[in-house]
Amino acid sequence: MSDTAARPGARARRSPAPGTPTHEHISLAETWLASNYHPLPVVISHAEGAWVTDVEGRRYLDALAGYSALNFGHLHPALVAAARAQLDRLTLTSRAFHSDRLGPFCRDLATLAGKELVLPMNTGAEAVETAIKTARRWGYEVKGVPDGRARIIVMAGNFHGRTTTIISLSDDPIARDHYGPYTPGFDTVPFGDLGALEAAITDDTVAVLLEPIQGEGGVILPPDGWLRGVRDLTRRANVLLLADEIQSGLGRTGSTFACDLEGVVPDVYILGKALGGGIVPVSAVVADRDVLGVFTPGSHGSTFGGNPLAAAVGHAVVDLLATGDYQQRARQMGAHLAAGLEELVGHGIDAVRCRGLWAGIDIDPALMTGREASHRLLERGVLVKDTHGSTVRLAPPLVVGEAEVDLLLDALRDILR
């Protein structure tokens, strides 16, 4: 972990000049890629730790970290070593055969989570889909809900991924519109409203699916005690609690899982992003045998799920988390970040929400949009991304040092002046 921040180099331009490598790469992307993203005008070619370098040699502090997929920074030596060693041995078996990597990875991931079983997948959305299938099957086979009637309660403002079923439970028109017909079986209640949740539970409810902190929504924190209330309620109603910790988990909030902050143990952890160390897509559903035991051979699967390369990297990630160092780092650096951000409230920032090394900041809309703020930070050598209008999400890699957090705060002060 680094404590000395290198300063960013020459400044990026908002409209890259024709003939520059940046302009050429962006033109290629705009010509050949479907435009389902709107990236900032920077073309990255190298990275290490919390820093990335663009095609013109300019350096930037990465304060987004792949939306938490790079919790351990770019090219973490232990993770790269695990990937390299595995690349020379075995990369794929499919689950038609065993590999010598998968068992040890799943044993240690289950142990980290305090659970009995792991179901490995690849992307976050696949893990959420797997959790939904788990809950429905559990509902029919264990709880005794009549077949085809299972319902799952979800939260307003959620983000769980992009598949047709998952966007069916989203209330974000940009994610949803014109992708119907939608998958039925979901009921939406306001995030943080225990009374509404209680009222929505019926005999057919098999699960409550939630993010303990809504990341894509803008690092939205529920009221204190809400998650504990949800846990009590779901336990009493014989309803599974599915915690989507794809973005909030694996050290980001200063604990292994965001649920830990409230002392809550869900029935199912849904993990992704940082589990692959920013190297390969690795996701997983982690739960006890009475829940994940509902699967039988052939009833679910994925060709690449649990492949040896993914298992080797995922195992190295679990080893890093087992030390507790990264969680502690997130707490320490997060406290420093939060203190600096709080000082900016009323000075161009309307509100700040922080947990560990994760912050949502609402820029005063009279001053600029979140997109404009991201542009200005880019010009000052700091990479962030806006979400929902005037909100900017900060999620630097957990390896940042105090000087790098200061650099981020200085850049923010500068653009808000």
Ligand X SMILES: Cc1ncc(COP(=O)(O)O)c(C=O)c1O
Under rule CB under 6 A, residue 67 binds ligand X: yes
Residue closest to ligand X when measured from CB atoms: 124
Q: How many residues bind ligand X (CB under 6 A)?
A: 15
Strand residues in 211-330 grouped as ranges (E) = 240-244, 268-271, 283-287
Q: Which of these ranges, 22-30, 101-109, 209-217, 335-343, lies near ligand X under the rule CB under 6 A?
A: 209-217
Give catalytic status of residue 290 as yes or no.
Answer: no
- What is the rounded CA–CA span in Å between residue 378 and residue 364? 19
**How far is C-alpha 124 from the chain's CA centre?**
8
Q: Closest CB to ligand X among 161 and 222? A: 161
Q: What are phi and psi of 328, to 5 degrees?
A: -65, -40
For ligand X, the binding residue among 54, 108, 129, 244 (CB under 6 A) is: 244
Asked whether 39 and 87 are in contact (CB, 8 A), the reply is no
Under rule CB under 6 A, residue 355 binds ligand X: no
Beta carbon of residue 325, minimum distance to ligand X (angstroms, whole number): 24
Q: Closest CB to ligand X among 23 and 388? A: 388
For ligand X, the binding residue among 50, 83, 113, 128 (CB under 6 A) is: 128
Q: Pairing state of beta strands 391-394 and 385-387?
A: antiparallel
Burial of 236 (0-12, 13-18, 19+ CB in 10 A): exposed
For ligand X, the binding residue among 123, 253, 387, 391 (CB under 6 A) is: 123
Under rule CB under 6 A, residue 249 binds ligand X: no
Beta carbon of residue 122, minimum distance to ligand X (angstroms, whole number): 8
For ligand X, the binding residue among 8, 49, 124, 212 (CB under 6 A) is: 124
Beta carbon of residue 244, minimum distance to ligand X (angstroms, whole number): 5
| Sheet with 359-363: strands ordered across | 349-354, 359-363, 391-394, 385-387
Give catalytic status of residue 133 as yes or no.
Answer: no
Beta carbon of residue 161, minimum distance to ligand X (angstroms, whole number): 4
| Sheet with 151-155: strands ordered across | 117-121, 283-287, 268-271, 240-244, 205-210, 151-155, 186-189
For ligand X, the binding residue among 120, 161, 249, 314 (CB under 6 A) is: 161
Give catalytic status of residue 159 as yes or no.
Answer: yes
Question: Which residue of the set 108, 191, 257, 273 is catalytic?
Answer: 273
Give the x-and-dash track for 306-335 against ligand X (CB under 6 A).
------------------------------
Asked whether 129 and 183 are in contact (CB, 8 A), the reply is no
- What is the rounded CA–CA span in Å between residue 161 and residue 121? 14
For ligand X, the binding residue among 130, 134, 247, 255 (CB under 6 A) is: 247
Question: Which residue of the set 159, 186, 191, 257 is catalytic?
Answer: 159
For ligand X, the binding residue among 105, 138, 159, 257 (CB under 6 A) is: 159
Tokens 């302009």, located at residue = 23
Q: Among 108, 129, 106, which Cα is nearest to 119's? A: 106
Under rule CB under 6 A, residue 108 binds ligand X: no
Residues numbered 270 to 299 that lie near ligand X (CB under 6 A) are 272
Long-range contacts of 160-167 (CB under 8 A, 24+ apart): 160/124, 160/125, 160/128, 160/209, 160/211, 160/244, 160/246, 161/123, 161/124, 161/125, 161/128, 161/129, 162/125, 163/125, 163/126, 163/128, 163/129, 165/129, 165/132, 166/125, 166/128, 166/129
Q: Which of these ranges, 129-137, 244-252, 322-330, 349-357, lies near ligand X under the rule CB under 6 A?
A: 244-252
Residues numbered 5 to 34 that lie near ligand X (CB under 6 A) are none
Q: Among 72, 67, 11, 403, which Cα is nearest to 246's? A: 67
Under rule CB under 6 A, residue 62 binds ligand X: no
Interaction site with ligand X (CB under 6 A): 67, 123-125, 128, 159-161, 211, 215-216, 244, 246-247, 272
- Residues annotated as catalytic are 159, 244, 273
